[in-house]
């Protein structure tokens, strides 16, 4: 077994462990994955068609680009420990392998793990260049650059974020959060090529700036502080949950703007359901913390009911950034906010009493609402 085969085997083992940990989270959710696989496979192809088309609207282009880059960055971040072989780092570092070979193997694993998300846009760009080869000498250079700039920018940005997620510990808070949020409201102010240049400038700036941080100080105290420290020490779970909510909001926002007015309410209702389930799933982390420190919590002079009340209050506070995000996209009416609250509460109740099948209670609530609305009409 050579060094490449060894690193590839370590990566596959790490990926298998991650998939097993997902299965342990909720068998009910995992049972629904096969139903979503066909749609998930088609999404990149739909995104490529939008991102390679120079005639697509700027708002649609920027939303799709943001969604695609968020997804590839999150996907690579999940696989970071497998690509770097973090679990076997000391043994891997002790092997008699040159730094150049080690870096090339890591680059190969990055391409291997990014898979079609990286190779797809690259192949599409090469096909577009090959198809336009006969026009290079008949059309002005500026016209050719404008035609190829969107897909070329996609390849460059996807390549950067694939590598950055693995090798750069600093999170891209400026280029993947602040800039896109600001760009959506003024998408038509600049051309696609100019937005791509601004995106690259944002990347350069964020590489120079320090990552925003804060200290807890003397507040909060008690159980709230313990839960907050646990989240800060392992921010991966909450970070991926927020990214998942952001991805879902962007995609359904694109759908919301693309359907007729009569259907927009149903899209917003579906978003309220999915967002409530995703945000309520944060209670799983709090319940895991209670189990981890069960002897300590048992020794406290407070009842289990009070402990659960603290956990629910903390989870509700953690939901505030998600609520701000949903309000920023402005897709909900008063009815949808009420639906979100109902789905959120029923999801929390399900996690407390039937964690494996927690989504059953919000689904029943959704069916009841649908039947009542049908009877009302």
**Residue 282 · residue 315 · CB < 8 Å:** yes
CA 299/CA 320 separation, integer angstroms: 31
Task: Determine the 3-state secondary structure of 213 from DSSP.
Answer: coil
More confident residue, 166 or 375: 166
- Give the pLDDT confidence score for residue 217 in this predicted structure: 67
More confident residue, 189 or 234: 189
CA 230/CA 131 separation, integer angstroms: 54
**Residue 245 · residue 325 · CB < 8 Å:** yes
**CA proximity to 119, closest of 65, 162, 81:** 162
Span 225-230, average pLDDT = 85
- Give the pLDDT confidence score for residue 95 in this predicted structure: 87
**pTM, rounded to two decimals:** 0.85
Query: Which value, in Å, is the radius of gyration of the alpha carbons in the chain?
Result: 23
**CA proximity to 290, closest of 303, 275, 308, 273:** 308
Q: Give 148-196 pLDDT, tens digit per residue.
A: 899 999 999 999 999 999 999 888 989 999 999 999 888 889 999 999 9
Cα-based distances in Å from 280 to 179, 207, 365? 28, 34, 15
> Is 63 exposed, middle or buried, given 0-12, 13-18 or 19+ CB atoms closer than 10 A?
buried
């Amino acid at each position: 077994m050579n060094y490449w085969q060894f690193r590839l085997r370590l990566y596959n083992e790490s990926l298998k462990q991650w998939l097993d940990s997902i299965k342990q989270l909720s068998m009910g959710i995992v049972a629904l994955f096969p139903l979503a696989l066909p749609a998930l496979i088609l999404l990149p192809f739909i995104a490529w068609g939008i991102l390679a088309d120079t005639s697509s609207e700027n708002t649609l282009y920027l939303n799709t680009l943001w969604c695609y880059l968020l997804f590839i960055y999150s996907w690579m971040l999940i696989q970071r420990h497998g690509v770097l072989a973090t679990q076997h780092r000391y043994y891997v570092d002790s092997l008699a392998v040159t730094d150049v070979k080690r870096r090339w193997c890591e680059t190969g694993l990055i391409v291997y793990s990014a898979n079609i998300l990286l190779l797809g846009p690259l192949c599409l760009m090469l096909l577009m260049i090959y198809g336009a080869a006969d026009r290079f000498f008949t059309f002005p250079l500026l016209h050719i650059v404008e035609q190829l700039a969107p897909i070329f920018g996609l390849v460059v940005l996807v390549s950067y974020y694939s590598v950055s997620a693995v090798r750069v510990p600093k999170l891209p808070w400026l280029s993947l959060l602040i800039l896109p949020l600001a760009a959506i409201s003024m998408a038509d102010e600049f051309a696609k090529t100019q937005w791509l240049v601004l995106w690259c400038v944002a990347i350069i700036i964020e590489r120079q700036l320090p990552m925003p941080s804060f200290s807890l100080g003397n507040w909060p105290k008690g159980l709230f502080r313990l839960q907050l420290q646990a989240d800060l020490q392992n921010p991966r779970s909450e970070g991926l949950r927020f990214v998942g909510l952001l991805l879902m909001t962007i995609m359904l926002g694109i759908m919301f703007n693309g359907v007729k007015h009569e259907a927009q309410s149903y899209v917003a209702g579906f978003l309220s359901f999915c967002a409530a389930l995703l945000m309520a799933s944060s209670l799983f982390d709090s319940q895991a913390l209670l189990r981890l420190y069960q002897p300590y919590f048992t020794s406290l002079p407070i009842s289990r009911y009070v402990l659960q009340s603290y956990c629910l209050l903390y989870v509700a506070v953690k939901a505030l950034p998600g609520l701000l995000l949903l309000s920023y996209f402005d897709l909900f009416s008063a009815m949808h906010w009420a639906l979100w609250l109902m789905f959120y509460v029923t999801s929390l109740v399900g996690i407390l009493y039937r964690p494996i099948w927690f989504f059953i209670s919000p689904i029943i609530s959704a069916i009841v609402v649908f039947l009542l609305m049908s009877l009302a009409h």
